Structure 1
Amino acid sequence: MFDFEKRRAIVVEGHDFVTTFTPVQDLTGVVVEAIEHHPFAIDTKFETRHPSVSEEQASEALKSVLISTLQNGAKGAWDVSDEFNRILPEYKFTQTEDFLDKVWNDKP
C-alpha cells in the first residue's frame, strides 16, 4: 500500500510488487472513449459501506483488505496487460514518473 503524500509504502519483503496505477483523469478518458463508441445504461448504484455493517466491522475489514492486497500484489495480481494501450492506441496514458513529479512538485 502506498502513502503518496509521505512518499512511503508498505511492501512484502523479498518480493517485487508489480502494480499498475491509473489516474482518475486516464480512467475518465477511457470511459469517455468507450461511451462514444458504445453507449450503455446505468442501472445499479453501489454503496461504499452497507448500513448493517458497523464502523468497527468496516475498520476490521479494511485491515483484511490491506493484508490481502499486499499478498496478492506480491503474487502479481495487480499487474495488468497492455490491452487498453492496444484498444486505444491514440490515447496518451499518464506515465508514473509524470504523475509523481506533479504530485511531489515542490514538496520535501
Structure 2
Amino acid sequence: MSWWEGKERIREYLREVNKDSPVIEYSLFQPGLFLDYLAFPHKTSKYVDPLQTVFDFQNKRGIIARGHEHAIMTLTTVSDLAAIVTRAIEYEGRWPTSGGIQGNRLTFSQIYEIGARVRGCPFDISTVELHDLEAGKLKVSWGLETSHHAVSGDEADALLRAVPIGVLLSSTKGAWDSSVEMNELFPDHKFTSAEEFLSRVWTASVDRGNLRPWDLHR
C-alpha cells in the first residue's frame, strides 16, 4: 500500500545501518489492524479516531476477495498495543527486530461469524474478484466514506477506494498475519478477545450516554 512506502524505506535504512554490526537497536511493532476500527463509528480509544474498514459492523456488511475467505487478519486493540509498547520500553533485554503482536488471529470468515453473533444477524457479504482488485477496481455497491483527518480533501476520494483494495489484496498475500515475538516476550499479558470487545462495543452502543471509551478495555 503506497502510503506505507516510507516505513519500508526506514526499514531498509535500519537494515543497512546494522548490516555489519549492531548500531541502532529497533523493533518493528506489528499489531495488524486495530480491533477498535471494527467499532466504527464509536470512539473506543482516547487518542485514535474511528475509521471504516472492509468489516462494516455498523451496517452489518463486509467484503471478501473470492477464494480468500480464510485469509488471516491479526486484530489487536489500541489498548493492548499501548500496553506492549510500554512494557517494551521498560524491558532491559534486547528487542527482537520483528516485533509481531498478535491480539487475535482470525480469518475473514471468522470475523463475519463474530459479527453475526454480536449484531444479531448474518452480514451481507460482497465478494470481489482478485483481477479486479489488481486492476484498481472495487466492484461493490458501497464503499468507505470517512477518511483519516490527516488526508486532504483532494486525496480523500482516491484513498477511500485504495484502502479497501489494499487491505484485501495484502490479506491474500498473508501481510496481516502478524508474528508473535512480543507475545512471547511478555507471555503474561492477557490480550483482549475480539468477540468480547466487539460484544461490549455493540451492546453498549444502545446506551452510549453511560459509556466512556476506556470502559471498553476493562
Range into which the TM-score falls when normalised by the shorter chain = 0.7 to 0.9
Distance in 2 (alpha carbons) for counterparts of 1:30 and 1:7: 31
2:199 maps to 1:101: yes
Shift of residue 32, structure 1, vs aligned partner: 1.5
What amino acid maps onto 1:29 in structure 2? A
Question: TM-score, normalized by length of structure 2?
Answer: 0.39
Seq. identity, %: 41
Instruction: Identify if the C-alpha distance between structure 1 residues 106 and 34 changes in structure 2 by more than 3 Å, giving closer, same or farther.
Output: closer
Task: Quote how far apart the aligned CAs of 1:23 are.
Answer: 0.7
RMSD: 2.3
The AA in structure 2 aligned to 1:18 is: I
**Greater relative contact order (Cα 8 A, min sep 6): structure 1 or 2?**
1
How many residues were matched structurally? 96
1:10 alignment counterpart: 63
- Mapped to 1, the partners of 2:179 and 2:156 lie a distance apart of 32
Letter in 1 for 2:165: I
Whether the 8 Å contact between 1:11 and 1:17 is mirrored in structure 2 is no
| Aligned ranges 1:71-82 → 2 under 5 Å | 71-82=169-180
Tell me the equivalent position of 1:27: 81
Q: What TM-score does the superposition give when structure 1 sets the normalisation length?
A: 0.73
Amino acid at match of 2:60: R
CA offsets per residue over residues 66-97 of structure 1, 9 Å max, x none?
A: 21111111221111112221011011011122
Which residues of structure 1 form unaligned runs of 5+? 39-46
Shift of 1:106: 6.4
Cα distance in 2, alignment partners of residues 65 and 97 from structure 1: 24
Task: Give 1 or 2: higher strand fraction.
Answer: 2
